[in-house]
Chain A
C-alpha cells in the first residue's frame, strides 16, 4: 500500500522548518555565531592581507566564506539532533506506523535543513553587502552561492541524519560537533593554502576537503568565476552528499525495523 511520496516530503520538511523556527536559539545562534567569529577574525587577522600573494586587500571579504561552511555544520547538528530526538521520544515509531516511506523521512529532514541553510546564506550575503564586501562574481555569483549553500546544507544534513540514525542519540551528535569544527580550523579558513608557512598544517589543509568548500565560496566573493575552485567545491560537496545520504538510507533501514 503506497501513497505519493512528495506530499509526505513536503509535510515532513514543513515540520522540520516549523519546529526549528519555533526554537529561537536554533535559528539565531547559527546566524550570530559565525558573524561574531567573522568580526573577531577580521579584527585580529587583518594584517594577513599585507602578506605577499594574499588574494585580496579586504580580510572581511576573504573570511566571509567561512560562515557559509559554519552554517552548514550547524545544519548537521540541527538535522541530527532533531532526528535523534524523534528516535529517543518514539516519534519515529509514530511515523513508522503510517504509510510514510523511508525516503520521505530523509528527504523531508534534508529539505527542512536546506530551507534553513538558504535563509542563513541570505543573511550572510546581506551582512557582507551591508559591510561593503564586493562580490566579484556579481549577481549571478550570489545565485551560485545560494546554490552552493543548498548543496552543502543537503550534504551536511545528510551526515547529521546518518549520525542520528546510527547512534539514536542527540548527545552523541552534539559530542561529535566539535570534531567537525576541527576540520574547519585545520583548513584554509584563515590563510590561503599557498601562504601557510608550517609544512604539516599546509599538508593537512590540502588534504582537508573543507578547504575546497571554503575556497569555492571564497572564489565567488573575491576572485570572480574560477572554474577549478567551483568544480572542486561543488564536486566535493556533492560527493559528501552522496556518501552521507547513502549511509543515512542504509542506517534508516536498520532503524525502521517495521515489517
Chain B
C-alpha cells in the first residue's frame, strides 16, 4: 500500500463513453482522512461517474486514483474492503426485510457469523429502523430506504464512505437526520466521507471542503467559506416604504459600497466593510428620516460561486443525465 490510509487521491482522472462527451475530463482532487468532501454539481456534471470509478465499479479511461492508499484499477478488492458506498439509487430488494438485507450484506462482507446479529442490531438502532427491521423494504418510505442504505454501507466498518446524492428526494426531517449521522461518522469515528450532491445547502452544512464540478471538470475547490469569500462581500437589499424615497435611499446607501441596481424597487449595495458595516447603514437610513418596507442582507452563496465560475446558476441548471455506466468505453 502506498499513499495515505483513509485518504482519496485523484490525478488526471478521465472517463469517456462511446457515444458522448467525456463524462469526467481530467479531474484532480485530494480528500484528507476524516474530512467530509462535498462534490457539488448539476445533473450530468460527472459526479456519479467519478464515484463509480472511485468505488471500482467503472474503470477509468485514464488517470490514477488511490482510495485508502490502494489503486482503484489494480487493487480493486482492497479498495472495496476499505470503503462503504451508498450509490445514487437506494438499491434494495423490496421483498426482503431490513434485517434480511443486513444479514446478507454482513455475510458477503465476511463478518464472522457470531458478530452478524449484534452488528445488524447496532446499525438498525443507529439509523432508527429497529421497529421496521422485520418489515419488507417495499413498504419503507424514501427516508427509511436511504437510512437502511447507509446502514448497509457501514456493515463492515469502512474507513471511507461514498455517498452519491444521499438525500435526493428526502423530506427535510429525513435529510437533517441523515446529515447528523454523516457528521457524527466523520467527527466521532474519523470516517472520510466523499459526498456528491446537487443541493447547495447540503454542501454548505456538511462539507469541510467542496469541489464544484461542471461538464466533467472541477471548476472550483475549497472550504465553503473560502469559496464564497472569493466571490465577494455581502450585499444589502433595502426597499423604501415610499417609492418616492428610492433615489434618496440610493444616495444614502451609496456611501457604504458599490450600488448594484437590479431595476427593482430595491436599492442594492455591496457592503464595502462586509457585515461589520450593517449597523452604520441602519443608523444612516434612520438619520435620513427614511422608513423601509424591508431590509435584507444577502451573503454570497455557493450558487453565486457556481455562477461566477460557470456563468450559469446551479439551481435549476440540471443538464443531461450521466451516461449509462455499462456503456462501453470508446
Whether A258 contacts B100 by the Cβ 8 Å rule is no
Whether A259 contacts B72 by the Cβ 8 Å rule is yes
Within 8 Å by CB of A1, from B78, B95, B108, lies: B78
A8-B95 contact in complex given A94-B87, A99-B77, A259-B76, C-beta closer than 8 Å: no
Looking at A7, A8, A12, A97, which has the most chain B CB atoms within 10 Å of its CB? A97
Chief secondary structure at chain B's binding surface: loop
Cα separation A182 to B76 with both chains bound (whole Å): 44
- Hey, which chain B residues are within 8 Å of A96, CB to CB? 57
- Hey, which chain A residues are within 8 Å of B109, CB to CB? 3, 98-99
Within 8 Å by CB of B107, from A7, A90, A97, lies: A7
Within 8 Å by CB of A97, from B80, B88, B326, lies: B80
In chain B, residues 45-80, which have Cβ atoms closer than 8 Å to a Cβ of chain A?
A: 55-59, 72-74, 76-80
For B152, the closest partner residue in chain A by CB is A94
For A21, the closest partner residue in chain B by CB is B95
The contact size tier of chain B is 35 or more
Within 8 Å by CB of B56, from A10, A23, A255, A258, lies: A258
Whether A100 contacts B108 by the Cβ 8 Å rule is yes
Within 8 Å by CB of A99, from B73, B87, B110, B113, lies: B110
Whether A90 contacts B59 by the Cβ 8 Å rule is no
State whether the Cβ of A194 lies closer than 8 Å to any Cβ in chain B: no
State whether the Cβ of A49 lies closer than 8 Å to any Cβ in chain B: no
In chain B, residues 77-111, which have Cβ atoms closer than 8 Å to a Cβ of chain A?
A: 77-81, 83, 85, 87-89, 91-93, 95-96, 100, 103-105, 107-110
A90-B89 contact in complex given A4-B110, A11-B104, A23-B95, C-beta closer than 8 Å: yes
Whether A93 contacts B87 by the Cβ 8 Å rule is yes
Number of residues of chain A lying within 8 A (CB) of chain B? 32
State whether the Cβ of A91 lies closer than 8 Å to any Cβ in chain B: yes
State whether the Cβ of A15 lies closer than 8 Å to any Cβ in chain B: yes
Cα separation A22 to B96 with both chains bound (whole Å): 8
Whether B136 contacts A22 by the Cβ 8 Å rule is yes
B145 vs chain A, min Cβ distance (A): 11
B115 vs chain A, min Cβ distance (A): 13
Cα separation A97 to B95 with both chains bound (whole Å): 21
State whether the Cβ of A18 lies closer than 8 Å to any Cβ in chain B: yes
Within 8 Å by CB of B96, from A2, A18, A99, lies: A18
Whether B57 contacts A257 by the Cβ 8 Å rule is yes
State whether the Cβ of A168 lies closer than 8 Å to any Cβ in chain B: yes
- Hey, which chain A residues are within 8 Å of B91, CB to CB? 89-91, 93-94
Whether A3 contacts B110 by the Cβ 8 Å rule is yes
In chain A, residues 77-94, which have Cβ atoms closer than 8 Å to a Cβ of chain B?
A: 86, 89-91, 93-94
For A10, the closest partner residue in chain B by CB is B107
Within 8 Å by CB of A95, from B55, B74, B108, lies: B108
- Hey, which chain B residues are within 8 Å of A50, CB to CB? none
A145 vs chain B, min Cβ distance (A): 30
Whether B59 contacts A259 by the Cβ 8 Å rule is yes
Cα separation A102 to B251 with both chains bound (whole Å): 73
State whether the Cβ of A19 lies closer than 8 Å to any Cβ in chain B: yes
Cα separation A205 to B320 with both chains bound (whole Å): 52
A26 vs chain B, min Cβ distance (A): 9
Cα separation A98 to B84 with both chains bound (whole Å): 9
A8-B56 contact in complex given A99-B80, A259-B72, C-beta closer than 8 Å: no
- Hey, which chain B residues are within 8 Å of A7, CB to CB? 107, 113
For A8, the closest partner residue in chain B by CB is B108
Whether B95 contacts A18 by the Cβ 8 Å rule is yes
- Hey, which chain A residues are within 8 Å of B103, CB to CB? 11
Cα separation A94 to B58 with both chains bound (whole Å): 13
Whether A257 contacts B58 by the Cβ 8 Å rule is yes
In chain B, residues 105-132, which have Cβ atoms closer than 8 Å to a Cβ of chain A?
A: 105, 107-110, 113
Cα separation A168 to B326 with both chains bound (whole Å): 10
- Hey, which chain B residues are within 8 Å of A90, CB to CB? 87-89, 91
Within 8 Å by CB of B100, from A4, A15, A89, lies: A15
Within 8 Å by CB of A19, from B73, B93, B110, B325, lies: B93
Query: Interface readout for A96-127 with B: 1 if CB under 8 Å, 0 if not?
Result: 11111000000000000000000000000000
Whether A91 contacts B92 by the Cβ 8 Å rule is yes
In chain B, residues 273-330, which have Cβ atoms closer than 8 Å to a Cβ of chain A?
A: 325-326
- Hey, which chain B residues are within 8 Å of A99, CB to CB? 77, 80-81, 108-110
Cα separation A142 to B222 with both chains bound (whole Å): 72
Looking at A1, A4, A12, A19, which has the most chain B CB atoms within 10 Å of its CB? A1
Cα separation A22 to B100 with both chains bound (whole Å): 13
- Hey, which chain B residues are within 8 Å of A259, CB to CB? 56, 59, 72-74, 76, 79
Of the A-B pairs whose beta carbons lie under 8 Å apart in the complex, a sample of 15, sorted by A's number, is A8-B107, A11-B108, A15-B93, A18-B100, A19-B95, A86-B93, A89-B92, A91-B93, A96-B57, A97-B56, A98-B105, A99-B110, A258-B76, A259-B56, A259-B76
New contact pairs (14) apart from A22-B95, A99-B108, CB-CB < 8 Å:
A1-B80, A3-B110, A11-B103, A11-B104, A14-B104, A90-B91, A93-B91, A94-B91, A98-B108, A168-B326, A257-B57, A258-B56, A258-B80, A259-B56
